[in-house]
C-alpha cells in the first residue's frame, strides 16, 4: 500500500503512465509482487477447503454435533462464505454478550471510534448492528469486535466527524454527494446467485473514476453496500459476490479508491466477500491484477478472472450460479439497471 502512495507523486488520485511504471518497478524491486504471488500460492495450497474438516471444526466450535453437511456451501468459490449457522435466540444472545465483554476489554485507542459512536449514536450500535459483524466472522466474537472497530475507523475516515454520525440517507450524511451517487459505480443488482449470495455490480469502465475524489467515491459505494446489508439478512448470512467490469486503461483506475474500499471489505465490512468476478480484462490488466492481489491480501484467492468472448464468459457464469437474466447487460446478461430509479425509491423511503 505504501508504494501506491509513493507512486502517485502528484496526488491527483490516479496513477499516470510514468507513475505506473515506477509503481511496478518499485514492486519488483522490493519484492512485493513476488511475496504476493508466493502468499497466494501458499493460500491456495494450504487453505483449500476440506468439507469434512470444516464440518468437524464447526461442530466443535459451535457445540453442534448434529450439524449437517448441507449446512456447508464451499461451492466453486473455495471458501466458507455460505456457511449456515443455526441462529437460535440463546446462541445469538450468548455470542452478543461475548462480543460486549471483548469490546469492553479492548484497548481504548483501538476502539476509540466505536466509543465515539456509542456516545453520539447509541441507537446505531444495538444488538442488530453487532450481529452483522458476528455473522461476517462466523460468530467468532473476537474477530467480530476487531472488524467492528475497523468499520468505524473507516466511517470516520470517509465521512469525517461532521457527517459520520448523521443518518446514512440522501438528506443526511450523503446530502453533499447527490451527484456522485448518480454515478453507476457500485450497483445493487437485486439478484442472488444459486448459492444465496447477493450480487453487486462494480462498473470501473463506464465512469472515469480518476475524475472524482477517492473518499467521495467511497461514500457513494458505502451507501449502496450498507443499504443492502441493513435490509437483507440473507446477504449478511451468505455473503456477497461483486462482479467487476474492469477499467480499460490505468489512467482511469482510481487506485486510492480501490485501496480504501478493499481495505474496508477485508477488515471492516459487516459482511463476507464470497468472490469478486473480474470481467473482460483489458490488455494491461495482468499488471493491474498483480497490484490488486497485493491490496486484497488474504482475499486474493477469491479474485476470479473471466475473459474471452461474451458467450464463453456467460457459459462460465453458469458454473457460478448465474444465468444471463441475473447478469447486467454491461457484462453480457439481460438485466437492466435503473440507478436513478433505485436512488429515488430509497429517497422516497427516507433512505
pLDDT tens digits, 129-187: 999 999 998 899 999 999 999 999 999 999 999 999 999 999 999 999 999 999 989 99
Closest CA to 212 of 182, 173, 169, 248: 182
d(C-alpha 255, C-alpha 253), whole Å: 6
DSSP state of 15: -
Instruction: Give CA–CA dist 244/84, Å, rounded.
Output: 26
What's the distance, Cα to Cα, between the start and end of the chain in Å?
Answer: 34
In this structure, is the dihedral angle defined by the CA atoms of residues 251, 257, 263 and 264, taken in order, positive or negative?
negative
| Spatial separation of the C-alpha atoms in residues 87 and 237, rounded to whole Å | 10
CA R_g for the chain: 20
Nearest alpha carbon to residue 290 among 6, 23, 9, 13? 23
- Identify the band that residue 111 occupies on the pLDDT scale cut at 50, 70 and 90: very high
Question: Per-residue confidence at 84, pLDDT binned at 50, 70, 90?
Answer: low
What confidence score (pLDDT) does residue 64 get? 52
Burial of 286 (0-12, 13-18, 19+ CB in 10 A): exposed
Q: What are phi and psi of 320, to 5 degrees?
A: -100, 20
* pLDDT, mean of residues 243-260: 82
Question: What average pLDDT score do residues 296-304 get?
Answer: 58
Judge whether 291 and 250 are in contact, CB under 8 Å.
no
Task: Check: CB of residue 332 under 8 Å from CB of residue 324.
Answer: yes
Higher pLDDT, 148 or 66: 148
Cell 508466493 locates to 38
Q: How far is CA 209 from CA 134, 141, 185, 186, 246, in A?
A: 33, 37, 9, 12, 12
Which is more confident, 347 or 12? 347
Q: What is the pTM of this model?
A: 0.75
**Which pLDDT does position 70 carry in this prediction?**
42
Amino acid at each position: 500500500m505504501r508504494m501506491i502512495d509513493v507512486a502517485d507523486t502528484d496526488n491527483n488520485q490516479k496513477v499516470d503512465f510514468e507513475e505506473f511504471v515506477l509503481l511496478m518497478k518499485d514492486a519488483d524491486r522490493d519484492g512485493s509482487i513476488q511475496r504476493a504471488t508466493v502468499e497466494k500460492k501458499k493460500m491456495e495450497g494450504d487453505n483449500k477447503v476440506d468439507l469434512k474438516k470444516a464440518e468437524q471444526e464447526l461442530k466443535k466450535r459451535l457445540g453442534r454435533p448434529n450439524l449437517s453437511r448441507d449446512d456447508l456451501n464451499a461451492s466453486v468459490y473455495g471458501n466458507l462464505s455460505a456457511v449456515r449457522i443455526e441462529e437460535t435466540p440463546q446462541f445469538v444472545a450468548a455470542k452478543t454478550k461475548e462480543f460486549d465483554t471483548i469490546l469492553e476489554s479492548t484497548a481504548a485507542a483501538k476502539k476509540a471510534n466505536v466509543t465515539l459512536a456509542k456516545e453520539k449514536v447509541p441507537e446505531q450500535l444495538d444488538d442488530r448492528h453487532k450481529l452483522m459483524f458476528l455473522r461476517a466472522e462466523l460468530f467468532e466474537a473476537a474477530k467480530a469486535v476487531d472488524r467492528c472497530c475497523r468499520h468505524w475507523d473507516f466511517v470516520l475516515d470517509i465521512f469525517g466527524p461532521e457527517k459520520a454520525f448523521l443518518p446514512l440517507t440522501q438528506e443526511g450524511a450523503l446530502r453533499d454527494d447527490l451527484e456522485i451517487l448518480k454515478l453507476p459505480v457500485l450497483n445493487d443488482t437485486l439478484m442472488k446467485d444459486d448459492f444465496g449470495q447477493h450480487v453487486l455490480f462494480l462498473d470501473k469502465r463506464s465512469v472515469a473514476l480518476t475524475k472524482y475524489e477517492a473518499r467521495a467515491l467511497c461514500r457513494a459505494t458505502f451507501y449502496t453496500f450498507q443499504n443492502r446489508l441493513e435490509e437483507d439478512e440473507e446477504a449478511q448470512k451468505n455473503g456477497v459476490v461483486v462482479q467487476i467490469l474492469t477499467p480499460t486503461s490505468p489512467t482511469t483506475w482510481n487506485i486510492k479508491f480501490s485501496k480504501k474500499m478493499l481495505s474496508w471489505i477485508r477488515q471492516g465490512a459487516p459482511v463476507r466477500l464470497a468472490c469478486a468476478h473480474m470481467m473482460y480484462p483489458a490488455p494491461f490488466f495482468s499488471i493491474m491484477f498483480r497490484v490488486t492481489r497485493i491490496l486484497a491480501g488474504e482475499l486474493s484467492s477469491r479474485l476470479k478472472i473471466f475473459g474471452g468472448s461474451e458467450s464463453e464468459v456467460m457459459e462460465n457464469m453458469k458454473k457460478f450460479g448465474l444465468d444471463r437474466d441475473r447478469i447486467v447487460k454491461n457484462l453480457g446478461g439481460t438485466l437492466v439497471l435503473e440507478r436513478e430509479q433505485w436512488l429515488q425509491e430509497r429517497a422516497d423511503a427516507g433512505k
